[in-house]
Chains A and B, each alone.
Chain A
Amino acid sequence: MKLNKNQVTSLCCLFVSLSATVLYVVFEIGAHKFNWIVFMLLLTSCVANALPLFFKWDWTTIVSSIGGSVSLMLFIIDSIGSLSDYFNGIVMFGNPAEAPMIFTICGILLVQTILSLVNSFMSWEKTK
């Protein structure tokens, strides 16, 4: 199957959102904390990014961008203690050693959200 540019972009989004999901699960389980809402939102984003590969559903880009941004914000709120400690050089509200991983996951989620936004603005072509 030859993919059009929307599908290519969706595939990229799917790859990024899957990466974010895997990283999130590994990180949160390792840190003995897990937010099911974030996980479900990440999964929703993955599904929303996968659907355009099989259907001509352009609205899924809206779902993907919302899913990515909500999960990003929830993840930041969950991690605010560790980030606070990291920037203040203390160990008080969380674990500052987690900060690099938190930044990584946030970065990936941000990329996914931006990619979904770009995909939303693109013209959708018929699959050939």
Chain B
Amino acid sequence: MKKTSLYRGFTSLCAVLLVLFVFGTSVALDYEKPINTFLHTQSSKIITTGEVGDTQYYKSDYGDLNAENLQKLIADTYEQNVTEMQEGAVLLKNDNSALPLESDENSITLFGHAVAQAMFKAHSAGSNSAYGHDNTKAPYCTDLYEAFAQHSFEINDTLYNAYKNSSTRRINRTHELGEETIDFYTSNLRASWQTQFNDVAVVMFAREGGEGIELEMCDSEGISQLALHQAEKDLLQMIKDSGVFSKTIVLLNSPWAMELGWLDEYEVDACLWIGNPGMKGFEGVIDILVGEVSPSGRLVDTYATNSMSAPACVNNSCNNQTWSNLSEVSANLQDSDFDISYYAFQAESIYIGYRYYETRYEDCILNRYNASTDVGSSFEGNWNYAKEVVYPFGYGLSYTTFTQKLNSVVVRDGVATANVTVKNTGSTAGKNVVQLYAQTPYGDYEIANKVEKSAIQLAGFAKTDLLQPNQEQTLTITVDMYLLASYDYVNAKGYVLSQGQYYFAIGDNAHDALNNVLAEKGASGMVDSFGNAVTGDSQKVVSWNNPVLDKTTYKTAENGVVVTNQFDDCDVNFWTDTQYTYLSRSNWSGTYPVAPAEIECTLEMQDQLDGDTYVKPDDAPSAMEMRMGLPKDSGLTLVMMRDVDYDDPLWETFLNQLTASEMVSLISCYYGTGAVTSIGKPEFGTGDGPDGVGPNDMAGNYPEKYGDTRSTCCYTGEVVLCSTFNVELYQSRGKLMAEEALYMGFMEVWCPGGNLHRTPFCGRNFEYYSEDPNLSYLASIPQVKAMEEKGVHAGIKHFAGNDQENNREGISVFFNEQAFREGSLRAFEGAVRVGKTLSIMQSFNRLGLEWASSKSQLNFGILAQEWGFLGHTECDAIQGGQNTGYKSHLTTSLSSGTDTYCLDDGGRAAIAISKYISESDDGYMLLCLRRAVKNYLYACSRSCVINGLSSNTKIVPATPWWKATLYGTIVVFALGTVAFGTLYVISKINKGEQKNEVE
């Protein structure tokens, strides 16, 4: 090869490699924090001078962080996962005691594609330890087959391997069901269970949504994704027709409430709901199937015959709508059409899940409020509870039987205390859940002032220890009467305790408890959820009379702030002359939403929808003058602030040490923030749950220095955890996740999920607790408290109203304030007001017309003022939206109470704010920035990331090896390009001269 060609070629090669490395490095620097977390490197290091003393401010219960203790922790996390499954699985059907399996029923066939493609978790954040390459199970994860094999079952490998080798896949993005069609079951396959492996047919069905992926209300088969599909029907029919199986057991590997009206039709003997089991949960499932554990989980959602029968399905989820004048709105507004087009009118008001079905049932029984009409009925004729509901909220069977006796309920000083004795009357040991429900008065005042009341609501619960046969235990349940107050947004503009008769009732489920209340009221004609006539048991009810309407007790928050309406503008009626109706039990047929609301976005509404509402105040001080003389070193470091109160002026002195660029760097998060050497703030990461400390795409592996680099535990989905109704398990989940976070060096983990199962279709129901706000409230508190005690903030998400994944970005959500406060806000209120979390993640949706992160009434009015939140608020992922779209109005969100920006790659949001302040000299925005930085550092100073720091430690910059390597490589290729390019040019010139000489 000639020299010229070589020089030309190497010039090109070096230039191409230079391009690759320059761009690659640019991207890597944008993602510096997660790369450091992934590689366990740091861009800073801690230098210690002199004595530091005990700097473990937040200690691990396992002792020092080391390899030996990590192994103990990992073992405990796996055990927690199994226990959650053992206690969270719900036995829905068990005809003729089909379960537990007899010891000689050990030759089985596993049916359903899900046995080969189990849904350990749904796709979202959280741990990555369940799935490996190509969505197969990861090491250390146990699937159904392995769990059976561990118990020495003989399994039909012919069919199992056929499933494994099949090209069929369940794909959440395309809503591919992933079930084999009947053609798959060839004669060879059918022969495999004709003479053997036919003690039991174990069928597993799965449903899958995920982040940004709503389940379909009407799919390619013209039915809801939660209904039984043709391939599944054919499979069940084939098993039934074969006539060889002694038993058919169905496992529901779906955290979404499926439509289960078909269990009898296909002669299913037993059905066990298992949700998403996490990495070890299938071991717990088998423990139940073989009877080592008696099931004790209870449903946290209503299982309707037809999922679409919920009034929330009329306007929400895939039935959200676009403005009736969408083209005008699109033409007038700058943000993309996707950001401004959709709205969801929550016409269902407070009537979500069982609060609808049970309330309408009571009004049918008492024959009032036009409840017994065909409006909203899924079937021919008038609305009929037994036809609409398959399994009510709180339902769940056991292998043994229990009696529950309500000994007393005493209401005193704002607390109701119930005393319940539970006795195991069966022949098997087991645990039992006591569910305490309440009915509050619904009278003239309530009807006149649009104060809606559920006929029954969960007030509290407790779970027994493992009770042996004939053993009994007395449990005490305390109820904060605040949970039974109602928000009156029309008259009192605050919470009221209604005047009249209150009923406290226990029951096996919400419907059973309501029947007991109806018995106490002397009603007749009651039925259970299967349509059988029942009388209820008034012995399980205690009534209490509130002599006067109480508007004052809850009018003032604990911190003295007066509670009043904050969300009038989130009611669409605030904006339009057209009256939009919310469902009211005072007139079921007249208010039931029969069709999605059509809403026109007026010009006034468009102004607010525009989102860029921040205007520099006339009296805003000069940012430049405010920064004069700063930064000013006062020798304060982050660790010194750990006991300094939020309102202490020392915080201002501390903040004055920061340069402007340091301040903006702290509001830009990407799974953590970098070091700030001037204040001794270390670099650290954050986790992302709720099913593990994750995050799923970057880190999640324990640091190598602890001798084990496997991923942190993938626990059961939050909905399974919630179904345990076991406060101790909620606490231990929080404690173990915090312990894992200590090893990972995470300041906070974005968990739990506090949104509601507003409809059964929300793509992320698996990581939210329940359809019931009170249960969500009560479940969040123990987990959050346990994490906070370890110095790991439980950043509950998504605050607030993010109850659907369909069009979640930018959707305008309209509601009335009672429904919002008693529904969407409840879990967050528990985590903040009682659990005292210092982190909270906001949501993508709009409240009314404003993005939740730009809703000052939410972030200041409710969160900071009413609930007394101290800590930092973080928007949901802003990546890709810093410069365009509804999230790009950064001055509006920062001034409305957002402190930090999530997944702000390259610090683009922070840079934009910095640029605005310097260009506009807006001192008010600088104050907003200082507030945000203070809130963030306040949360940091109360977290485990200050472990190891003292007044004798300093943080100094360091270049991690990967950055040095990238920079070095760029230099090499740049020099190569220049050198070879020069040689190429010289070679060309020489060639030209030689040519001239020849000529």
Which one, B5, B16, B213, B877, contacts A121 given CB within 8 A?
B5
Docked pose: A70 CA to B12 CA in angstroms: 12
| B880 CB-CB contact with A under 8 Å | yes
Which one, B1, B123, B135, B880, contacts A90 given CB within 8 A?
B123
**Residue interface mask B1-31, A partner, CB < 8 A = 1:** 1101110110111011001100110110000
Find residues 51-104 in chain A having any chain B CB closer than 8 Å to their own CB. 58-59, 61-62, 65-66, 68-70, 73-74, 76-77, 80-81, 84-85, 87-94, 96-97
Q: Which residues of B contact A65 (CB under 8 A)?
A: 12-13, 15-16
Closest to B26 in A: A77
Q: Which residues of B contact A113 (CB under 8 A)?
A: 16
| B212 CB-CB contact with A under 8 Å | yes
Q: A88-B696, A90-B212 are in contact. Are A58 and B8 (CB under 8 A)?
A: yes
A66 touches B210 (CB 8 A): no
Q: A89-B173, A117-B9, A120-B9 are in contact. Are A66 and B19 (CB under 8 A)?
A: yes
B20 touches A69 (CB 8 A): yes
Docked pose: A116 CA to B9 CA in angstroms: 9
Which one, B5, B336, B880, B981, contacts A124 given CB within 8 A?
B5
| B370 CB-CB contact with A under 8 Å | no
| B211 CB-CB contact with A under 8 Å | yes
A120 touches B879 (CB 8 A): no
Task: Determine the main DSSP class of A at the interface with B.
Answer: helix
Docked pose: A70 CA to B26 CA in angstroms: 13
**Residue interface mask A109-124, B partner, CB < 8 A = 1:** 0000100110011111
A61 touches B210 (CB 8 A): no
Q: A89-B172, A90-B213, A91-B211 are in contact. Are A70 and B19 (CB under 8 A)?
A: yes
A120 touches B2 (CB 8 A): no
Q: Which residues of B contact A90 (CB under 8 A)?
A: 123-124, 210-213
A92 touches B19 (CB 8 A): no
Find residues 275-330 in chain B having any chain A CB closer than 8 Å to their own CB. none
Docked pose: A123 CA to B15 CA in angstroms: 19
Give the A-B pair count, Cβ closer than 8 A. Answer: 96
B12 touches A116 (CB 8 A): yes
Which one, A69, A88, A89, A93, contacts B16 given CB within 8 A?
A69
Q: Which residues of B contact A73 (CB under 8 A)?
A: 19-20, 23-24
| B697 CB-CB contact with A under 8 Å | yes
Docked pose: A58 CA to B20 CA in angstroms: 23
Docked pose: A70 CA to B1 CA in angstroms: 28
Q: A90-B213, A120-B13 are in contact. Are A62 and B8 (CB under 8 A)?
A: yes
Find residues 207-248 in chain B having any chain A CB closer than 8 Å to their own CB. 210-213
Using C-beta atoms within 8 Å of the partner chain, give the interface range for chain B.
Answer: 35 or more
Q: Which residues of A contact B124 (CB under 8 A)?
A: 90
Q: Which of A32, A68, A69 has the most CB of B within 10 A?
A: A69
Q: Which residues of B contact A122 (CB under 8 A)?
A: 5, 9
B210 touches A89 (CB 8 A): yes
CB distance from B988 to the nearest CB of A (A): 8
B20 touches A89 (CB 8 A): no
A92 touches B12 (CB 8 A): no
Closest to A62 in B: B12
Q: Which residues of A contact B13 (CB under 8 A)?
A: 65, 117, 120
Docked pose: A85 CA to B809 CA in angstroms: 15
Closest to A68 in B: B16
Docked pose: A74 CA to B2 CA in angstroms: 34
**Residue interface mask B86-126, A partner, CB < 8 A = 1:** 00000000000000000000000000000000000001100
Which one, B11, B24, B172, B805, contacts A62 given CB within 8 A?
B11
Which one, A77, A85, A121, contacts B8 given CB within 8 A?
A121
Closest to B11 in A: A62
Docked pose: A16 CA to B26 CA in angstroms: 28
Docked pose: A84 CA to B880 CA in angstroms: 12
Which one, A76, A81, A89, A123, contacts B880 given CB within 8 A?
A81
Q: A81-B880, A91-B211, A97-B173 are in contact. Are A123 and B2 (CB under 8 A)?
A: yes
Closest to B844 in A: A92
Closest to B211 in A: A90
A120 touches B8 (CB 8 A): yes
Q: Which residues of A contact B173 (CB under 8 A)?
A: 89, 91, 96-97
Docked pose: A120 CA to B13 CA in angstroms: 9
CB distance from B970 to the nearest CB of A (A): 14
CB distance from A4 to the nearest CB of B (A): 14
A91 touches B12 (CB 8 A): no
Docked pose: A68 CA to B13 CA in angstroms: 12
Closest to A67 in B: B19
Q: Which residues of A contact B5 (CB under 8 A)?
A: 120-124
Q: Which residues of A contact B697 (CB under 8 A)?
A: 84, 87-88
Q: Which residues of A contact B16 (CB under 8 A)?
A: 65-66, 68-69, 113, 117
Q: Which residues of A contact B981 (CB under 8 A)?
A: 62
Closest to A87 in B: B697
Q: Which residues of A contact B27 (CB under 8 A)?
A: 77, 80
CB distance from B317 to the nearest CB of A (A): 15
Q: Which residues of A contact B20 (CB under 8 A)?
A: 69, 73
Find residues 661-711 in chain B having any chain A CB closer than 8 Å to their own CB. 696-697
CB distance from B591 to the nearest CB of A (A): 34
Q: Which of A59, A62, A97, A113 has the most CB of B within 10 A?
A: A62
CB distance from B921 to the nearest CB of A (A): 33
Closest to A124 in B: B5
Known: A84-B697, A120-B5, A122-B9. 17 other contacts (CB 8 A): A59-B984, A62-B8, A62-B11, A62-B15, A65-B13, A88-B696, A90-B210, A90-B213, A91-B173, A93-B879, A113-B16, A117-B13, A120-B13, A121-B1, A121-B5, A121-B6, A123-B1
What residues make up the interface of A, taking CB atoms closer than 8 Å to B?
32, 58-59, 61-62, 65-66, 68-70, 73-74, 76-77, 80-81, 84-85, 87-94, 96-97, 113, 116-117, 120-124
27 pairs, A vs B, C-beta closer than 8 Å:
A59-B8, A59-B984, A62-B15, A62-B981, A66-B19, A68-B16, A73-B20, A73-B23, A74-B23, A77-B26, A88-B123, A89-B210, A90-B211, A91-B173, A91-B211, A91-B805, A93-B880, A94-B880, A97-B173, A113-B16, A117-B9, A117-B16, A120-B9, A120-B12, A122-B9, A124-B4, A124-B5
